[in-house]
Amino acid sequence: QVPNFINTTLPPHEQVTAQEIDSYFRQELIYKRNERMGKRVMALLRENRDKSFFFAFGAGHFLGNNTVIDVLRQAGFEVEHTPPGQPI
């Protein structure tokens, strides 16, 4: 997770700057990274249709909007959640 840079105790002009920094970090560190990771997963799956894969990502890549799973689903991949203790 990226820390929230917005602080309501800041003067208004600094709040604007904090919002810009927050937006930049979310876009660059989360959304774009998830998109790159999703594209790498898709490339591996498409190039190796006869193989099975296990992908592990940090929890932050599954929270909120624009997750790695969102990227894959938007590309037409079917993604299923496997609960703990359930065989794969």
Ordered per-residue pLDDT tens for the chain, 88 residues: 455 656 678 788 888 888 888 788 877 778 888 999 999 999 999 999 999 888 888 887 888 888 999 999 999 999 888 888 988 7
Distance of CA 12 to the CA centre of its chain: 30
The pLDDT assigned to 6 comes to 64
For residue 58, give both structure tokens: 């940090």
Q: How many CB atoms lie within 10 A of CB 71?
A: 21
In a domain? residue 6: no
In a domain? residue 81: no
Domain of residue 63 covers 12-75
The pLDDT assigned to 40 comes to 95
Total domains present in the chain? 1
In a domain? residue 86: no
